[in-house]
Amino acid sequence: MESKPLLHGGRRPSASRPPIAGGSRHALWVSWLTPLLYLGQARPLEMDDLCSLDPASRAHVIALHFKQQWGPEKRRVQPRVWLCLLKAFGRPFFLAGCMKLLADVLQFVTPMVLAALLHFMASDVPMAQGYMYVSILFGVSLAQSAFLRQYFCYCADVGLYVKSALVAMTYDKALHLALSVRQQTSSASIVGLVTTDVQKLRDASPYLHALWYATLQICMATYLLYSFVGVATFVGIAVAVIMTPLSSCLATKATAAHAQLHTLASSRQHTCDETLRGLKMVKMQTWEEHCLARLSTLRDAELKQLTLVARLRSLSTTLFDATPLLMAMAVMGSHVYLTGAALNLATVLPSLLLLQMLRTPIALLPQVFSTLSEASASLDRITAFLVEVDQRRLTVGTLSAIGVRFEDADLSWQLPSIDAAEASFSSASNGLWQMRGIDLYVRAGELCAILGPHNSGKSTLLNALLNEVHCTSGRVMARGAFAYVAQKPFLRHTSIKENVLFGKPWEASWYACVMDVTGLTSLVLDNSALFPDHDETNMDSVPASVDPSLHVRIALARAVYQNADVYLLDDIFASMASATRDHIFGRCLRGLLRRKCILWVTNALAFVPLCDSVVLLEDGVVVEQGSITTVLCDDGPIHDLLQSHTLLDDAAVRLEPAPTGQDFVSPDPTPLLPTLTDAVASLKEHSGVYKRYLRACGGYGLAATSFVWYLSAQATTVLATSYLGFDESLLGLYVFATGHALYIGLLYMRSAISYRRGRVGSQRLFHTSLWHLLRAPLSFFEPSPVSALLATLASDIAVVDLEVPSTMHMLLHTLLLIGTTVGLVMLVTPWFALAVLPAMAALYALQRAYVPSANALQRLEAATREAMTAYVRECLLGLRSLHAYRIEGHCSANYYALLDAHQRVHVVVTATNHWLAVRVEWLGATLSALAAALVVNSKASGMAPLPLVAMALYYALQLTPTLHWALRVLAQVQGSHAALQRLESYDNLPMEAPLTSDLSLRGLESEKRGRLTFENVEVRYQPHEAPALTHLSFDVVAHEKIAVVGASGSGKSSLVMALMRLLELDAGVIRIDGVDIASMGLHDARRQVAYIPQDPILFSGTVRSNLDPFGIFGDDRLWAALRRAQLVSMVSSLDEPVTTRGRNFTVIERQLLCCARIWLKNASIVCLDEPAAVSWATPKDYALQEAVRAECAERTVLTVTHRLNTILTSDRVLILEHGRVAALGTPVDVLATPCATMATLLEQWRAVQPIT
């Protein structure tokens, strides 16, 4: 037997990698990680490269540990999740506090050592004392680094335990929620619990410590600052207190502005999503320029808001950097005023360090309270969710054998809302549906057909057995294991094989038998053309042209493979061809499942006489039921219904149904492990990407100007501070204050310039990328999941909007700080240059090892996080099936595996940051100590001016955090490089032919008539694929009505796409009115043809914008078009809103709107793709046919059809088989043609009918 893989689409963790033990995570140098980072330098890291979690850190162990605490606690009136977390994981939390206390005490040694060194340099004391100060500085820096790293490690442990416990508990609870709770709980809110709310609680651990350590830092900094400047300290604190609410106000405004920016960006992304998903229709309607203009308008509004966000960010950043300077000016001025003492650098520089230390906790406290408040709200939501009522199973009742029974049962549930996007977890309410007095018993070995018109209660009956419907009176009982196949089956985004197994072990003989009886052997296992990976093909990779019944057949195979006792089948034949129905009914329902209890909701009346019993429902009531022998002998409703089915009804005959809802690609769900453009993201940096970005921002001249602003700001602060050492009078204070006031102004200017130029560059990159996407051929989108493409584009634009300008700003600022430090120390002691080069080489080596692995781990972390989120959404979507098969435990195990995979990556990410931080901090501590030692040594050999020495020491002592920050910023720069490179890659997309051509209409007949010629046309979707059309030749005279008939995959859609140049020809010629369409511009060619798709797409906006997006026609012309399309009674106003994809209109109404577009377009050729008749309201269907027939009398019409009446009313019929002409002639001639397609048509003459 073969077990299912732990991760979707992934591999098992490598057994050769030992677990990451808790002690290893806390190792000071994390040496076990070094080989992994070197591997990441050689190639991108993969999941198999990472060590596994130690057993104590696995999700199921942590969840079990938490459940032991939660069990007794949840029985309290007010259960406390926080107390359970503290009891379960309190030890690492308190150890983190101890480490942070030691680190914070040691950080205040640095200002005291700086003051001592400055006094040493200015006095005549033994050199040994100076070297002692340097030794203290070096030892304290190393010890502080060690304690701080341990603090972060323990906080990471707490975060891991909290997230694993709460995510596991919340997910398990979601699988077992009672129906009444699910009806009031949206799936989005549950996803929010396991993502946003749990993450807030995970991040709360450091903020809980911040409550005490921020207070401790403020007290210690105040005490030490008082020892330098006395009571003037409190003036500085007063300035900080004044600046804090100002900063909070700016932060609040920035948050609100960013939320508004997010809303505008979401609106733009929604429109972009709508445009790309409907790109086939956009191209057919020649609306590319309109879509670009529409998106550009939305983008302009977004950029206007982005400007406000950038300004607020600039102000906030400037205020944060300016706060210690303003405090310093206030403190120094007050000190001079109150004491009359002259200022000197021995007082100013240690005070500046202390003021910087004081700024951070004062600014942090408001954020701490805000974060903890949000975490508390999240904790309350999670607690309320964990105490909700669980789902109860159906009882066996009086049943002693396998079967189901309803005893005078009244059933009720809330109808789903119209817009599924806003539907709740199970079904959002917009009405109450009830069934009354249901009495039914179905036993093992019985096949019971459940009949009834639409909304009669057929599916409700099955849902009652799944306990998904409220039984308000009577009883519903069941005995045995269930299997369930829905109308729209739930399939996971994994392989076909895994969907069939559904958690069961693989048994070769049974699996082969199941695949055979459900018709999947011939469709999947033996079809290498469509399924090269056979049953290992992922569901997201299934070709759009495959048999539309594939999903139902996979779901049926899953049900059969479970070898259950009771089978609930909901209209499984709706999308199947006749031969497939016969095969499955005979081999499966009446074969392999003949001894099972089967309740089968169906409209396939031809098979009802072959069932054991039958139930007819109408308006929630059983009209008639009984054995098939009884009901056929009685003259009841069932007998009448079956007898009427034998009458011919040409309007309802349909050929093999085509896939519905396909418009270039179907809305595909986000894959569990996104792979789109991962190869691009892993490429090494190329300077050309940044050159292109700089050119988009305004060129090298503006970049040089920006650099001058940065350089001026840095020079101003250095000169203003050092001047105090040369002039200790009041003038020195004025220069200090004036210089730093100018510096604050320059800080804002340089930040604002960075964001402004970044906004310009972002707009240009967005416009260019979008236009290239709109102009790309449809073949580009076929191998790429559109949802992943849209998500990538949205995230890349967000990165370029804010992250790239911010990162470039920080990079320049940090590099100038390092340059200033190195330059000042080298002015004092040139020997420091000998240490700089090896240090830079070491930093470069660290950067080379860290950045590739960090970027790869970041992508893996995002992928595993998205995998978890997608799996939760997937399970919530298919919860009814999960309950039916009772595999909640299996799903929990799968989810725990995904959670462990995410935690594995997160642990390595934390360890990688630790690995880099400890090395940079120790290297920085070494460089700082070496710089200080060389400065001390310069005293014996004739030192430089004291102010220069003081400034060198001041900057040298800040070298460690500066170096660490520089490497982090470099990693962010290289991370954003992937976004810039992906945007650049859109410039290299293949492009369609020019939209217009001056020569394209030359030679066209003076009057459009609609004569159409295909000559040896050959076309294919991808270069490596077989041709979709082969040597296709036929002529259509002007105004002729042609019915195009063929099985699925015969080339009907390809013919239309070739006619509209959505697919370019490999060979042959297509002529319209004598002109080769290849010589026309794309828009010129596409304007000759109007297309009404099977499932037409409308774009959000109004009726007017969908008819006339360019505003060319007046109201009278638009109303005339609606009148001709018989839509006047359905449309009250031209400004009537249209929702996304036109969901507030029926399919027929959308097609009628497309008819109205035809009358406006005035094309000579019309292509109509008729739908299958089963899901259509007959009066509206007739309205569509009548509108086309009446208004296209003077146009050539090609109708892709599945109906006999359309064939009989056409002038000629074109039958396609395998991309070739199988027959072409009048309906009478074609019906006599011996071809496979006509044989199928005649076989289905008495095909399945909907019950109306």
Confidence at residue 153, expressed as pLDDT on a 0 to 100 scale: 93
Confidence at residue 18, expressed as pLDDT on a 0 to 100 scale: 60
**Each residue's pLDDT tens digit, 137-182:** 999 999 999 999 999 999 999 999 999 999 999 999 998 888 778 8
Confidence at residue 350, expressed as pLDDT on a 0 to 100 scale: 93
Confidence at residue 542, expressed as pLDDT on a 0 to 100 scale: 73
Poorest-pLDDT segment among 562-566, 673-677, 1032-1036: 673-677
Indicate whether 1005 pLDDT > 50: no
When pLDDT is averaged across residues 1128-1148 and rounded to a whole number, the result is 77
Confidence at residue 1155, expressed as pLDDT on a 0 to 100 scale: 79
| Residue of higher predicted confidence among 796 and 209 | 209
Confidence at residue 27, expressed as pLDDT on a 0 to 100 scale: 81
**Each residue's pLDDT tens digit, 730-782:** 888 889 899 989 999 998 888 888 888 888 888 888 888 888 888 888 877 76
Indicate whether 534 pLDDT > 90: no
**Each residue's pLDDT tens digit, 963-993:** 888 888 887 787 777 778 778 778 788 888 8
Confidence at residue 1093, expressed as pLDDT on a 0 to 100 scale: 79
When pLDDT is averaged across residues 84-104 and rounded to a whole number, the result is 94
Looking from the CA of 431 toward its CB, the CA atoms found within 13 Å total 7
When pLDDT is averaged across residues 515-538 and rounded to a whole number, the result is 82
- Asked if residues 1020 and 777 have their Cβ atoms less than 8 Å apart, the reply is no
Residue 566's H or E segment, with its range, is strand 566-570
CA distance 362 to 245: 11
Question: Which token pair is 737?
Answer: 């204050």
Indicate whether 1033 pLDDT > 60: yes
Confidence at residue 678, expressed as pLDDT on a 0 to 100 scale: 39
Residues 6 or more apart whose Cβ sits within 8 Å of residue 250: 312, 315, 316, 319
Confidence at residue 142, expressed as pLDDT on a 0 to 100 scale: 95
CB-based burial label for 1033 (10 Å; 0-12, 13-18, 19+): middle
Poorest-pLDDT segment among 112-126, 249-263, 450-464, 651-665: 651-665
Q: Is 663 helix (H, G, I), strand (E, B) or coil?
A: coil
Looking from the CA of 549 toward its CB, the CA atoms found within 13 Å total 22
Indicate whether 1051 pLDDT > 90: no
Q: How far is CA 380 from the centre of its chain?
A: 27
- Asked if residues 1150 and 1098 have their Cβ atoms less than 8 Å apart, the reply is yes
CA distance 747 to 741: 10
Q: Is 556 helix (H, G, I), strand (E, B) or coil?
A: helix
Confidence at residue 1182, expressed as pLDDT on a 0 to 100 scale: 58
Confidence at residue 1246, expressed as pLDDT on a 0 to 100 scale: 43
Q: Classify each residue of 1184-1216 as buried b or exposed e, where b means 16 or more C-beta atoms within 10 Å of its C-beta.
A: bbebbeebbeebbbbbbbbbbebbeebebbbbb
Confidence at residue 431, expressed as pLDDT on a 0 to 100 scale: 46
Task: Spell out the domains of the chain, with CATH numbers in brackets.
Answer: 231-390 (no CATH), 482-563 (3.40.50.300), 677-817+977-989 (1.20.1560.10), 1012-1245 (3.40.50.300)
Q: Which range, 200-209, 410-419, 1230-1239, is most confident?
A: 200-209
Confidence at residue 1229, expressed as pLDDT on a 0 to 100 scale: 82
**Each residue's pLDDT tens digit, 1083-1137:** 888 888 888 877 677 888 888 888 888 788 888 888 888 887 777 877 888 888 8
Confidence at residue 429, expressed as pLDDT on a 0 to 100 scale: 37
Alpha helices in 230-287, H assignment, sequence order: 232-277, 279-284
Residues 6 or more apart whose Cβ sits within 8 Å of residue 555: 485, 486, 489, 490, 491, 499, 572
Indicate whether 1251 pLDDT > 70: no
Indicate whether 56 pLDDT > 60: yes
Indicate whether 1175 pLDDT > 50: no
Strands 613-618, 621-627: pairing is antiparallel
| Residue of higher predicted confidence among 669 and 1055 | 1055
CA distance 289 to 286: 8
When pLDDT is averaged across residues 352-372 and rounded to a whole number, the result is 87
Average per-residue pLDDT in the chain? 82
| Residue of higher predicted confidence among 858 and 1250 | 858
When pLDDT is averaged across residues 397-425 and rounded to a whole number, the result is 66
**Each residue's pLDDT tens digit, 602-642:** 888 888 888 999 999 988 889 889 898 888 888 788 887 87
Indicate whether 917 pLDDT > 80: yes
Indicate whether 860 pLDDT > 80: yes
Q: What are phi and psi of 1105, to 5 degrees?
A: -65, -25
CB-based burial label for 1026 (10 Å; 0-12, 13-18, 19+): exposed
| Residue of higher predicted confidence among 685 and 642 | 642
pLDDT class of 803 with cuts at 50, 70, 90: confident
CA distance 1142 to 1105: 12
When pLDDT is averaged across residues 1155-1180 and rounded to a whole number, the result is 66
> In the chain, pLDDT over 70 holds for what percent of residues?
87
Confidence at residue 937, expressed as pLDDT on a 0 to 100 scale: 87
- Asked if residues 433 and 445 have their Cβ atoms less than 8 Å apart, the reply is no
Confidence at residue 422, expressed as pLDDT on a 0 to 100 scale: 31
Confidence at residue 273, expressed as pLDDT on a 0 to 100 scale: 82
Indicate whether 1001 pLDDT > 60: no
Confidence at residue 22, expressed as pLDDT on a 0 to 100 scale: 53
Question: Which token pair is 238?
Answer: 């007063």
Indicate whether 1172 pLDDT > 50: no
| Residue of higher predicted confidence among 507 and 1230 | 507
- Angle at which helices 700-726 and 687-697 pack, to 10 degrees? 90
When pLDDT is averaged across residues 1161-1167 and rounded to a whole number, the result is 83
